[in-house]
Amino acid sequence: GAGVSQSPSNKVTEKGKDVELRCDPISGHTALYWYRQRLGQGLEFLIYFQGNSAPDKSGLPSDRFSAERTGESVSTLTIQRTQQEDSAVYLCASRVAGVNEQFFGPGTRLTVL
Amino acid sequence: QKEVEQDPGPLSVPEGAIVSLNCTYSNSAFQYFMWYRQYSRKGPELLMYTYSSGNKEDGRFTAQVDKSSKYISLFIRDSQPSDSATYLCAMSAGSGGFKTIFGAGTRLFVKA
**Using one digit for the tens of pLDDT, what is the confidence trace for A27-58?**
999 999 999 999 878 899 999 998 888 899 99
A64 vs A73, more confident: A64
pLDDT at B41 over 60: yes
pLDDT at B97: 58
CB A95 within 8 A of CB A102: yes
pLDDT tens for B57-75 read 999 999 999 999 999 999 9
Say if B14 is an interface residue toward chain A (CB within 8 Å): no
Phi-psi region of A107 (alpha: psi -120 to 50; beta: other; left: phi over 0): left
pLDDT at A1: 54
pLDDT at B23 over 60: yes
pLDDT at B95: 66
pLDDT tens for B72-95 read 999 999 999 999 999 999 999 876
CB B57 within 8 A of CB B8: no
A85 vs B41, more confident: A85
As a whole number of angstroms, the distance between CA A62 and CA A36 comes to: 13
Pairs of CB atoms within 8 A across A/B: 57
Average confidence score pLDDT of chain B: 93
pLDDT at B2: 80
CB B86 within 8 A of CB B105: yes
Give how far B105 is from chain A: nearest CA, Å. 6
Average confidence score pLDDT of chain A: 93
pLDDT tens for A1-14 read 579 999 999 999 99
pLDDT at A97: 81
As a whole number of angstroms, the distance between CA B40 and CA B63 comes to: 23
Residues on A contacting B at a C-beta cutoff of 8 Å = 4, 31, 35, 40-43, 45, 48, 50, 56, 91, 93, 95, 97-107, 109
Give how far B52 is from chain A: nearest CA, Å. 14
Contact yes or no for B44 and A40 at CB 8 A: no
Per-residue buried b or exposed e for B94-107, using 16+ beta carbons within 10 Å of the residue's own CB: eeeebebbbbbbbb
Contact yes or no for B99 and A45 at CB 8 A: yes
Say if B35 is an interface residue toward chain A (CB within 8 Å): no
Give how far B14 is from chain A: nearest CA, Å. 22
